[in-house]
Amino acid sequence: MVSSSSPPRESPEDNLPQSKTSLFAAFGHAIRGVRKLVVGERNARVHAALTVGVIALSALLRISLTQWCLIALACCLVWIAEAANTALERLADAVHPERHPLIGEAKDIAAGGVLIAAGIAIAIGLLVFVPELLDLIAKNESSPA
């Protein structure tokens, strides 16, 4: 017979840590993460320079709203992959500083994700910018000197 004074059964959710972080503080942590990514990672600084260059080229070529959306998504894809790669590298180094084949594999896979994202971003950039640049060249050639 079950005693009526037995404690209530715990649900799996009861074991989860209760987050006391306010939305405002969480936003601050995220901004700190972006700063650490851009300041501390050489690859992220390269992405930052490329992002600025791509935005400048897009503005110069006066691309359409749809093209802006595609370029923005392509840039975001690379930034998200780079952030995930950096986070995984730091986590792996903290949890297991010694060399381990699985850590190596995990880092290689994360780096592969960045490579795939960068490849797709380059393809989108070519699809958007090459026709625009060809158009600009054709207009310049056809205009009277």
Ligand X SMILES: Nc1ncnc2c1ncn2[C@@H]1O[C@H](COP(=O)(O)OP(=O)(O)OP(=O)(O)O)[C@@H](O)[C@H]1O
Residues annotated in a binding site for ATP: 41, 89, 98-100, 107-108
* Cα gap 133→18, rounded to integer Å: 54
Three-state secondary-structure class, residue 97: coil
Among 63, 89, 120, 129, binds ligand X (CB under 6 A): 89
* Cα gap 52→54, rounded to integer Å: 6
Whichever of 37 and 128 has its CB closer to ligand X, that residue is: 37
Whichever of 71 and 77 has its CB closer to ligand X, that residue is: 77
Sign of the C-alpha dihedral, residues 128, 39, 88, 12?
negative
Residue 10 engages ligand X in binding (rule: CB under 6 A)? no
Radius of gyration of the chain (CA): 24
The site for ligand X, by CB under 6 A, has a size of 10
Which residues belong to the annotated binding site for substrate?
Answer: 82
Number of residues assigned to the chain: 145
Sign of the C-alpha dihedral, residues 62, 64, 67, 73?
positive
Among 10, 13, 14, 108, binds ligand X (CB under 6 A): 108
Judged by CB under 6 A, the stretch of 13-21, 62-70, 96-104, 126-134 that binds ligand X is 96-104
Known active-site residue 82: yes
Whichever of 7 and 101 has its CB closer to ligand X, that residue is: 101
Alpha helices in the chain (DSSP H): 23-40, 42-60, 65-95, 101-142
Among 36, 38, 43, 129, binds ligand X (CB under 6 A): 43
What is the contact surface with ligand X in residues (CB under 6 A)?
43, 85, 89, 99-100, 103-104, 107-108, 111
Active site positions, annotated = 82
